[in-house]
Structure 1
Amino acid sequence: MQKFDQALILDDMGRPIRQEGPVSSRDWDEVEAFCRQVYLPFQVRPLGRMLRPEATMRQARIGRIVVTRFSYGVPIHLNDTDVSSGHVIVLNTLAGALRHKLGGRSDTVTRAGDSFVVDCSRVDHWLDADADHMQLNLTIPHDVIADVARRWFGFVPDDRLWTRRLAFGERGSRWMSLLGYAVRCIGADGLVRGDSPMARHLEELLCVELLHSWALGSGLALTDGARAAAPHYVREAEQIMEAEACEAPAISDVAMRVGVSGRTLSEGFRRFRGITPRDFLRDRRLDGIRAALERAQPGQTVTSIASDWGYVNFGALARAYRQRFGENPSQTLLRHR
């Protein structure tokens, strides 16, 4: 894995990548704190008596994706992952080997050049790592990758995808090439800044390629008529909410106009889109505000544009906007002045 030898150690110009906090440790509590911060809570124990870690703990960010170069430095068993974390974890093995739970009593082993994805917001997980393991991992909020699926493919996959633990990729695969490119874009400050076009571009590329690989390995299709497969009332409701997003129509009114009950509409969206109608409308409204900010005229402000869209709680808007786009509304406006 030569192209990853210096990943998260040196940037593409040969400069050391800075990081706050320790980049190595022999203290279990310190290693656990790092893992809780960048991954999620879980239990880990060494596979041997009186073993102390010789951990590598490096991290960087690509937009909303946390990238880590990590190893315990000793053989370990990891289990009891916290499904409330909301994170998808992609474990890319640079050296050594990991044995992962697949489901039931089955498992699989990943070695140098292999990758493994598990949505820890949907399923628990366990793994064994040998003493030589070294990982280049991604931590992606589930909502981020679900939103990419919605925008690229017109729907959010259901749990047939999210509950599938999958080994994928190999040396020289498109996924590993993209990952190599992404980490080379990380600067000496350890960031591809969340408010930069490059960060959004790389975040999008990584999520799309991961979705393609994940769906292919799960036997699911993302592109062949997924939108058309939804009932007519779901598609008609989408058209209404897209056209009238600025007016924020009531979901009960939308349901009545397409000829179904509110409950039927909600169940249709959950089954065929993986979200609620309210989520769909919220995202269309945020998309509309973003477009308005990008084409704002002199004298227009975030407040005036938000007011035009019927928002009165600007703090709540800023939080939702930041979660969806990785930047504040004011940053979008300033970038297009």
Structure 2
Amino acid sequence: MNETEQAVRHVLADWAAGISAHPNLADAVLARDTRRRRRRRALLSCVAAVVFLAGAGVLWAVAPWRTPDRLVPASPHPDDSAPPSPVDFGWLPDGFDTETLDLVPPGVWRLTATADREPIEVTISPVELPPTRGNGTTGTADVNGVTATTYSVPPHAVGAPPYGTNSPDADGATEEITWQRKPGQWVQVHLHFAGGEKPLAASGDDLLRVARGLVDRERPVPHVVRIADLTGLRVVASQYDDWRGATINLAPTSMTTWMSTEAGQKTLTPYMIRLGNADPVEGYAGFSDRQPVLETRALDGRTVIRKRSYQELWKTALVRFPENQVAVVLVPKRTSDADLMAFASGITPGPDYVPVRR
């Protein structure tokens, strides 16, 4: 579970008891029905374009029209993907053959190479990365002429002295290298295995070779969500795997700090999209099964749904796609219902997204 998921689950649980009824719900529904009838007439005069998701065998529809009331944005925005990592792997130990890249909160790249067990993680940050401090051994190493801080914990029985009972020292071995690779670029190479006395899948020398072999080469973040209405917004985090799905964070281009949780963690943004299998993902919307559907919009193979939600920071909509895939769309509470539906209507899976089966 990533930090965004933890934060969202925390606020949902905390606010679930704070539901209040809309004082003019009947009038709002009647007004919305009138607007909806006008929009249906506009939709009947439009032509849809269908985009095929390569390799997945699924047809995802993208509506290419724009009506005067901004029902659906014209097309996916050309800048709706996350910025690429400026660093890429140059060498990896044998067996580390699956490479992934995320842009993680708050705007830091995480490059991962996976073997059968624990992954090698490379974090690239524009601000200083603190080395791990614990009961392991701290030292230094030369990384291409720069002095790096190293941290090492050997394999040991879980909880054995002197490694105590706190993670990550307590449960197994760790190797880590942290340094300033160039001005404005801090890098940390990390390997940890919660396996007690079992050795790491790569040695400290291997990790040092990984660090020295990193290259200045842009590596694109997987483009897993297409966003048509990106006016004034930028993608600040994008995380994806083929069993959990995609989590996309967006913020206004002028925004320099993120929304904070009660614990003070800056892990939330005003706009979030969670795309994955419907069974686990729909819960993020904060919808109650007892609440009626307030608005539904059908758009060539996808359906946009708005219901009353027990969220307090966001308004929420669901977008249902083929293959039991669902996007939960969270926007600021001040957003109008029409703008929420317009923004959600422009959400479609991106070219690198593969339907999540669980």
Q: Which structure carries more strand by proportion?
A: 2
**Same structural fold, with TM-score higher than 0.5 when normalized by the shorter chain:** no
Q: Which structure carries more helix by proportion?
A: 1
Structure with higher Rg: it is 2
Q: What TM-score, normalized to structure 2?
A: 0.20
Higher RCO (C-alpha under 8 Å, 6+ residues apart): 2
Q: What TM-score, normalized to structure 1?
A: 0.21
